[in-house]
Amino acid sequence: MSKKLKFLIIAGARPNFMKVAPIIQQICRYSADVANHGVQLEYRLIHTGQHYDEKMSDIFFTDLGIPAPDINLAVGSGSHAVQTAEVMTKFEPICEQEKPDWVVVVGDVNSTMACTLVCSKLGIKVAHVEAGLRSFDREMPEEVNRIVTDALADLLLTPSVDANENLKREGIPDSKIKFVGNVMMDSLVANLEKARTSPLLGQLGLEKKGFVYVTLHRPSNVDNQTGLSLVMKLLGNIAKDMPVVFPMHPRTRKMCEQFKIQLDEYKGLRIMEPLSYHDSLCLTDTARFVLTDSGGLQEESTYFKTPCLTLRPNTERPVTIEVGTNKLTGLDQLSADIEDILQERRPPGQIPKYWDGRTAERIINALLVESGLEMEKLNICETFFEEKGFEFDNNLFPLGITS
Ligand code: UD1
């Protein structure tokens, strides 16, 4: 008789969609082979509706080939307390009705924390994908979400070795921590070809390596009038030398309106609506450099080895600085940092370990192992190790080789 595992997969905001897509695809791939291994995987995709605009949500479902959500909680925007409470109130009955074996949450948005909190009270197991990242800055709402989610989750699936260290320091037992790699890179690798054939550069009249790609939306950069005005002025100055493409997040646009910052005064800036996934990857790949405060872009630019300046005092993704092409910057040092890039004074960067497009496989394997269903582990793991040219050692999996 075949065994069954049921997952609820949570997606709420833009940066979640590229993380759930590979997990869903891997569940489907695995399920197609049920006759072989005897384990049936079932999933429901729950969209909390934290992001709801076509350009912040629907377009990613299309680009990434994600099936329509089974359930949409349609929580929308609100203060942190309101948004979190709305997700919790609407998610609790779904859990009671669906009775999943696991709830899989990704990233660090309000929806991630809210669903984890509900499950921990109901005794439902939670797997957190992208666990263990820390900026050590509790003024960031995401940092609070990360700490709470990791404290409550049952399985902590980490994207980089530093995340394992953070969790251990917080007293989380080794047995709960699995280094699986960066699942965002699965989506990136799978969509490279489409990104590289995007017509966007031609449409915007841009040359490869001849423009700057900017995204800014963090409250610390955009929710303060003096700061946001200064950012816009500096971007205007950069645009005098090189085209600056700035797809604007709805939060940033809303704050510009509130502070009466006239966007049409910044003539050199190409301010536009948020981009699709493929178009954003295309710009990240081909920009002279990226200026951002997004977590995802720090990682994607690292993969493409495109220089990245992160307009923040800290990052929860230090591996992008240690081995990648990322550097933290501030308004007072931005010009000098840009000059370093233009004068090629920055190191070339490498791709971190396990950012290889195979993370979803390791996630599903870890979930099977944690559920006591280990039969597939050898198949996938052996293939993976053989392809990488490593000697296969069953005892190292699923923690992987952490050295
Ligand atoms: C959220 C995440 C952040 C992530 C970002 C990516 C939290 C605490 N923050 O921030 O970690 O980096 O998503 O985009 O979870 N809005 C729209 N349309 C939408 C969604 C939002 O117009 O589809 C506007 C609303 O005015 C809303 C504002 O953007 O009030 C902020 O949205 P919210 O979901 O609260 O946070 P983000 O800034 O998007």
Instruction: Record the pTM.
Output: 0.92
- Identify the structural domains of the chain with CATH numbers, from first to last: 3-182+354-396 (3.40.50.2000), 192-342 (3.40.50.2000)
SS3 (DSSP) at 202: helix
Between residues 377 and 175, which one has the greater pLDDT? 175
In the structure, what pLDDT confidence band is assigned to residue 396 with cuts at 50, 70 and 90? Answer: very low
**What share of the chain has pLDDT > 90, as a percent?**
88
CB atoms within 10 A of CB 333: 13
Establish how many alpha carbons lie within 13 A of residue 333's alpha carbon, considering only the half-sphere containing its beta carbon.
12
The average pLDDT across 309-319 equals 98
pLDDT tens-digit map of 82-105: 999 999 999 999 999 999 999 999
Q: What is the pLDDT of residue 395?
A: 35
CB of 81 within 8 A of CB of 144? no
* Nearest Cα residue to atom 20 of ligand 1: 51
DSSP letter at 137 equals: -
pLDDT in tens, 124-154: 999 999 999 999 999 999 999 999 999 999 9
Going by alpha carbons, the residue nearest to atom 18 of ligand 1 is: 53
Looking at the predicted structure, is the pLDDT value of residue 367 above 70? yes
Atom of ligand 1 nearest to the CA of 295: 12
Write out the two tokens for 331: 């308004």
**pLDDT tens per residue, range 338-364:** 999 999 999 999 999 999 999 999 999
Ligand 1 atom 31, closest CA: 251
CA distance 164 to 182: 13
Read off φ and ψ for residue 97, nearest 5 degrees: -75, -45
pLDDT of 34 above 90: no
CA pair distance 386, 382, nearest whole angstrom = 6
How many whole angstroms from 195 Cα to the centroid of ligand 1?
Answer: 24
Place 387 in a pLDDT band, splitting at 50, 70 and 90. Answer: low
pLDDT of residue 392: 41
Structure confidence at residue 312 as a pLDDT band (50, 70, 90): very high
Our answer on whether the CB atom of 227 is closer than 6 Å to any ligand 1 atom is no
Q: Is the CB of 293 under 6 A from ligand 1?
A: no
Collect all residues with Cβ–Cβ distance below 8 Å to 354 and sequence separation of at least 6.
159, 160, 179, 180, 181, 182, 362, 400
Q: Is the pLDDT of residue 191 over 70?
A: yes
